[in-house]
Amino acid sequence: MSLFTLIFVLLFSSSLATSNNPHEDFIRCLINSPQLTTPIAGAIFTPDNSTFPAVLQRYIRNLRFNESTTPKPYLIVTALDLSHVQASILCAKQHKLLMKTRSGGHDYEGLSYVAEDPFFILDMFNFRSINVSIEDETAWVQAGATLGELYYRIAEKSATHGFPAGVCPTVGVGGHISGGGYGNMMRKYGLTVDNVIDAEIVDVNGKLLNRASMGEDLFWAITGGGGVSFGVVISYKVNLVAVPNKVTVFQVRRTSEQNVTDVAHKWLQVADKLDNNLFIRMVFDVVNNTNGERTIRASFPSLFLGNTTTLINIMDQTFPELGLQVSDCQEMNWTQSVLWYYNFPPNTPDSQLLSRIPRSLTHLKRKSDYVKNPISKLGLGLIFNKMIELQLPVLTFNPYGGRMAEISEFAKPFPHRAGNIAKIQYAADWNQDGVDIANHNVNLTRVLRAFMTPFVSKNPREAFLNYRDLDIGVNNNGKNSFLEGTVYGVKYFKETNFKRLVKVKTMVDPDNFFRNEQSIPTLPTSRK
């Protein structure tokens, strides 16, 4: 132990001895934990620490949850090694303190760093090692690493390997993978979790488990069912996938003056049936036309795992309505396509992927839906009129089909496979602080989602776990936990997968230590 650390511990212990804080025993437990292999005091931040606000805010990615009225944690543990994770779990269990695990902070409802009950944050941002093996085309990546860091480390070793995950480089690996994860290569290679082959997790007893020791049920659950319901995920082992030396990207936009309804209607008919190498996203937003009047704009940011010539031939045969031209297309390597998709300027160095700071931070709200049948031109017209009325919300359609339709809905907790044309994301972003403006803008997304009811999945109305949305159900984790959990659980996972997740949860965490407002519940006592 260094002299600095020894002095820190002595001062910390002295302050605890005179403290009236009801959770002082918890901190004592952490500092004196027999699990520790390195001192933990330097990883503990309380509100008395001058750097506490900076540590808390460093990974808040939704400014809705950075208001003065937002509940704050009792303390933050920025775990430096495995023993810190183990001690945090065991001491929190002993002292009945709610634990929130944060890897990247991009969770849309802030569940990794906000709670109404007294809580602390176990922050995993120091767990960011990445070991890439091109020889066997795999990588071990820790939960606190970002997607951008993973992409960069792969590219360091190979120009023809990539990984099918999200387009936002600052997203933490832990939450992204455990909730399913998807990106521009999903039609070719499936979800992120479809390419996970092993994992390490610390369970409720503080034991480190891998796939062999945790068993297939728990491994299945943490590859799409949300890791935070079952333990603290330390790392995942993933299969790398092949990418061409050059890929092609394009961004085409159409407005009402350019037959946007016809183009959108055709997209809904073909987007899930196109070549598996082609991913064409469709985004609707409200803009002003040349006359200053509000109109709908459709944008089509796209990735093709191939060259421009092949892409143009495919588009001419299957989606000529978009009117794609050679001049619309750009060829680049795969990592450059990630930066392009995230709106970085051309020739941005790959090292930008290593930045853990988002390009911008806003207040935001997200929702999700699934489209199983093409929406008619009349229906699209009604949707466009409603969007023009509401102005703020943006609709993004992510195409399915391809590999997504070939994998069983029971292979992973994520069930939204064959039969889906697209997933919809509802997005509202704003820059003003304050609860009133937040409530107003959040309500706009609710109004639009309600309007979309005739056009999306039913019984259940399905949703995507990584687009966390507390509007579809909240668990108070009391005596009605199972019933409350079922409300949102069947929307995220459908009935069969949800029931299996509940059985796994009941087996590995019977006392529901790992919980949040939308965690997997345990079976009622009478049914355990």
The pLDDT of residue 2:
47
Q: What is the Cα–Cα distance from 100 to 489, expressed in whole angstroms?
A: 20
SS3 398: strand
Nearest to 321 by CA among 282, 294, 370: 282
In this prediction, residues 149-173 reach a mean pLDDT of 97
Rounded to two decimals, what is the model's pTM? 0.94
Instruction: Report the C-alpha gap between 336 and 151 in whole angstroms.
Output: 10
Instruction: Please identify which of the residues 152, 341, 342, 467 carries the catalytic annotation.
Output: 467
CA–CA separation, 86 and 33 (whole Å): 9
Measured CA to CA, the distance from residue 95 to residue 28 in angstroms comes to 11
Q: What span, in angstroms and rounded, lies between the C-alpha atoms of 98 and 343?
A: 38
**What does the CA dihedral 343, 349, 351, 356 come to, rounded to 10 degrees?**
-20
- CATH, domain range 130-242: 3.30.465.10
Distance CA 97, CA 23 (A): 8
Percent of the chain with pLDDT over 90: 93
CA 273 – CA 400 distance, rounded (Å): 8
Query: pLDDT tens for residues 52-79?
Result: 999 999 999 999 999 999 999 999 999 9
Q: Provide the pLDDT for residue 1.
A: 47
Whole-angstrom distance, CA of residue 428 vs CA of residue 519: 24
| Mean of pLDDT values over 142-148 | 98
CB proximity list for 406: less than 8 A, separation 6 or greater: 190, 418
- Looking up tokens 């010539």, which residue turns up? 309
What are the distances in angstroms from CA 315 to CA 308, 325, 330? 10, 9, 15
Residue 449: pLDDT band with limits 50, 70, 90: very high
List pLDDT tens digits, range 340-364: 999 999 889 999 999 999 989 999 9
Average pLDDT, the chain: 95
Break the chain into its structural domains and give their ranges: 22-123, 130-242, 247-332+362-452
What beta strand segments (E) does 363-408 contain?
363-371, 394-399
Contacts with 264 (C-beta within 8 Å, 6 or more apart), sequence order: 282, 284, 298, 380
Residue 370 annotated to the active site: no
Give the 3-state secondary structure of 177-206: HHCCCCCCCHHHHCCCHHHEEEEEEECCCC
- Model confidence at 401, in pLDDT bands (50, 70, 90)? very high
Residue 137's region, left for phi above 0, alpha for psi from -120 to 50, else beta, is left
Q: What's the sign of the alpha-carbon dihedral 173, 175, 177, 183?
A: negative
What class is the 247-332+362-452 domain? alpha beta
The maximal CA–CA distance of the chain, rounded, in angstroms, is 76
**SS3 assignment, position 409:** coil
Q: Within a 10 A sphere around the Cβ of 145, how many other Cβ atoms?
A: 25
Whether the predicted pLDDT of 5 surpasses 80: no
Domain 22-123: which CATH class?
Answer: alpha beta
